[in-house]
Amino acid sequence: MLPDHLFLPAKRLATALAILVSVSSPAIAQETNDPAQPTETSQEAPSQAEEEALATDTEAVLSDEEFERMIPDLAPEDPEMDRELETLEDFEQRFASETPGAPDAPTDKPGPLLPELAGGQDGADGQSASFDDPEFGKPLPPFDEAMLDALEFAAQSEEPEAQRGELKYEWRLTGIEEVDAITSVDLRDRFRGQSALAKGDGKAANIAMLNARLEDDQELLLRLLRAEGWYQTEVTGRIEGEGEANERKAIAFIEVSVGPRFTFASIAIDADATIPPDLIANAVTLDVGDPIVARRVLANEAVIATVLPENGYPFAKIGQREIILNAESGTGSYRLPVTTGPRARFGSFAVEGDAVFEEEKLGIIARFERGDLFDESYLDDLRRALAATALLSSFSVEAKPTGEEAGDGIQYVTILVDQTKGPPRTIAATAGYGTGQGARVEGSWTHRNLFPTQGALTASVLAGTREQGGSVVYRRSNAGRRDRTFEFGVSGLRSDFDAFEAITGRIGAQYSYVSTPIWQKRVTYAFGAEVLASVEDAFDVEAGEFVDQTYAIAALNGQVGFDTTDTLLNPTRGFRLEALVQPEGSIDGGFTPYVRAIFDASAYYPASDGLVIAGRARIGTIQGADRVDIAPSRRLYAGGGGSVRGFGFQKLGPRVETPNPNFDPDDPDETDNPFILTPIGGRSVIEAAAEARYRFGDYGIAAFVDAGQVYGDTAPQFSDIRFGAGLGGLVYTSFGPVRVDVATPIDRRPGESLINVYVSIGQAF
C-alpha cells in the first residue's frame, strides 16, 4: 500500500491531468501525425506566457489565477470527485472481482497493474502471454531484417539467422532494343551509367535495399525514355530468387514496353517583331514531324536565347515552354513565348566597386565602340580579357538600360563593370630540359600593376647548366590598343653552348601586336630596337683556335605574321606565314652593317577525326657581311627542338675540328677522341618538317620527320641535307598540349647522339 502522504484528492489529480492534456496535446498530435492521414485537433495552443511558465524550472509553474482559469468545467455535484484514490492493491482486487474469468490477485504482494492478455492473444508457444512475460521486453527486429524475411528463396525458408549476410544479385533489362535501333544514343549505356543497380556492383545489404534500387531504376528508365519522345511507356520490375541456402542470389528484372514515339504536330514561337524579321525563325532548329526529344528542345531554346542578344536584343527572355501531348495521335503541340525587349546599341561604360580599370581603359580593352549594335559575344570577350589580366579577384559585366534613344526605335545601353581588386604580385618558376641546351630553372617576381593601368615590372633570374642570367622588364599591356604591348628591358646573360660562349648585356624596347588564346588575330606585327654588348669566344680560322672578341651591336627588328589556323597552341587546320627582318650593325674594329631575315611557313590539314597532318618550312639568310664579321651569337644555326629534331642544339652546319677539353693525354685508358667537331654557324639555313598527330581523348601521339642544314654562304645550297625522325607523346590540358619528343638522326655520324629529347608546351610548330 502506498504511503498516505502520496494520495491526492481525486478532484485535484483530475484537474492537473486535464491541464497537462490541454497544454501538451497539440505537440503530441504534431509528432504523431501521418502525412497521408492529416490529424486535426480542437485544443488551443498555450499562450506565450504559459509556455514560458512551463519551461521555467521553478516551483511556481503556474500562478494561482492561471491555475484556476485553466481548470476545466467538472461536475462539482459529483461526490466521486472528492473521494480519495484507492491503493493499487485495492484496485487489483476490485478489478479481479468485477472481471469474469480473471485470476485472483495475490494477497501477499502487489499484483500487476494490468491483467494478463485475454484468450486469443496467446504467445507463440500457445500459452497466454502476460505483461510480465520477458518477450514483451525484447526490442522489435530492425525493419530491413523483417523485410528480408519477406523474400523466400527455394529451400531456405528455414535459414538460420547466422547464415544471413550480404545479398548477391544480378539485373536484367529487356524491351529497349527498338529504342536503341531508332535513336542516335545508346539508351542502354546511358541507363547503365546512372543505374543504382549497376552501381551496386551486384551486392546489397538486404532485399529492401535491392527493391529500392529497382524502383529507382524504373523511374530512371521512364525519365530517359520520355526524354527521347516515348511518353506512353510502361516499365515494370520484379525480383526473383535462385540458388541454394548458402549461396542465395536474387535477380532483378526490368521490363520495358514502349509505345509510339511522339512527334511535333505544330511548333509556334510567340515573339515580338524583330529586325531582321526572320531572326528567330532562322534560329529554330525543330521541324514538324520531328520526334519530341528533350535535348533538342533545350538546344533550340538555347540557340534562340543566344541569337537574340547577339543581334541587338540584350534583354530578351525565353518564357515557359508548353508542350501539349495528344495520346490518341501520338503527337505534341509545342509553344514557346519569347520576350525580345528593346533593340539596343552599345553606349558608355560605368564602373562600380574597387575599380582597377576606369572607363577609358575599358574602352581600349573592349572590342566594340559606342554606337555599335549590341552583341553579347563582345561582352563575353571583354569578360575573358579582364580575367586574363589577373588583376581582379571578382568582377561582373552586364548591360543596363538607359532609356536614351539612339534613333530608329533603338536605345543605348550602359555597360556596367563591377570590380574587386585582386593580389597584383606573382612569384613564378619554370623548369625545362633539352638535349644540347641542358637543364634550366627560371624564377620571376612580377607586380602586374605597379604603374597603373597594367604597367607591370618583372624581375627574373635564370640558372642552368648552359645559361645563367637575369633581367628586369617593364611591360605595359593594352598600350593604346587591345593586345598591343610595349616592353623595355635590361638583361645580362652568360651562354655556354657547343657553338659559342658569350657574356651579353642587352637594352631593348619593342611594340608588339600579337595573338592571344582569347583573341587570335589574322595579322600580327612587332617592331623595336636593341643595343647589345657581348664578349664571345669566336673561332679564328687563321689561328685555328677560339679567341675572345668584343662586339657592340645595334639592331632594329620588324616582324609580321598572317594566321588562318583555328587555334593558337594546337592548330588543326589552316596555315601561318611569318617574316622577321633585322637590320643591324656590328662594331669590331669598324662598323659592319648587315641584314638578318628569316621566313617561316606552316600548314595543317585534318585528315580524319583525331588525325592532323602538319608541315613546316623555314629559310633564313644574312646579307651584307662575312661570317667572321658577325658575332657568333648572331649567326644562323639549326638543330634541336623547334628546329631539326634528332640533332643536338645548334649542331648542324659548318663545323671545325677543335681540341676536346675532356681528353686527358696522360690517361693511358683514355678512349675519347682528342679532337671534336664544333659548329660555327652560318649565313643561311633551310629547315622542313612533316608530322602526323593523332589525338585520343586527352592524350595523343605524333610521328615526325625533320630535315635541314646550315650553310656558310648567304643563300642555301640545298646540299648535304640531314634528316631526323622520332615520336612524340602529348597530354592535352586547358592551356594547351604538353609535349615530349624523342628523336634520332638518320644516317648518324660520329659525335652525334643516338637519342635526343625535347620538352615543350604547345605543339612543335
- Write out the three cell numbers for 324: 501539349
**Rg of the chain over CA atoms, in angstroms?**
44
675 in the same domain as 581: yes
Domain that holds residue 326: 263-339
Mode of pairing for the β-strands spanning 234-242 and 545-563: unpaired
232 in the same domain as 288: no
699 in the same domain as 563: yes
List CB contacts of 708: < 8 A, sequence separation 6 or more: 618, 638, 639, 643, 644, 652, 685, 686, 687, 688, 721, 722
Q: Indicate which CATH number applies to the domain containing 587.
A: 2.40.160.50
Q: What are phi and psi of 22, to 5 degrees?
A: -65, -30
pLDDT of residue 107: 46
Using the 3D structure, point to which of 98, 117, 152 is the last residue of a domain: 98
368 in the same domain as 334: no
pLDDT of residue 270: 94
Q: Is residue 120 part of a domain?
A: no
- Write out the three cell numbers for 588: 669590331
394 in the same domain as 324: no
Using the 3D structure, point to which of 231, 257, 283 is the last residue of a domain: 257
80 in the same domain as 12: yes
Q: Is residue 309 part of a domain?
A: yes
Using the 3D structure, point to which of 98, 118, 145 is the last residue of a domain: 98
Q: Is residue 128 part of a domain?
A: no
Report which of 587, 595, 590, 501 is spatially closest to residue 539, judged by C-alpha positions. Answer: 501
Q: Is residue 444 part of a domain?
A: no
- Write out the three cell numbers for 449: 600593376
- Write out the three cell numbers for 295: 535535348
Q: Is residue 442 part of a domain?
A: no
DSSP string, 277-340: TTTTGGG----TTSB--HHHHHHHHHHHHHHTGGGT-TT-EE---EEEEETTTTEEEEEEEEE-
Q: Is residue 530 part of a domain?
A: no
328 in the same domain as 186: no
Q: Is residue 298 part of a domain?
A: yes
pTM exceeds 0.75, yes or no:
no
Counting the structural domains of the chain, the total is 5
275 in the same domain as 253: no
Q: Is residue 516 part of a domain?
A: no
291 in the same domain as 231: no
- Write out the three cell numbers for 151: 523474400
204 in the same domain as 307: no
283 in the same domain as 392: no
655 in the same domain as 596: yes
Q: Indicate which CATH number applies to the domain containing 328.
A: 3.10.20.310
Say whether 115 sits in a helix, a strand or coil: coil
Residues of the chain with pLDDT under 50: 1-59, 105-131, 143-163
pLDDT of residue 38: 33
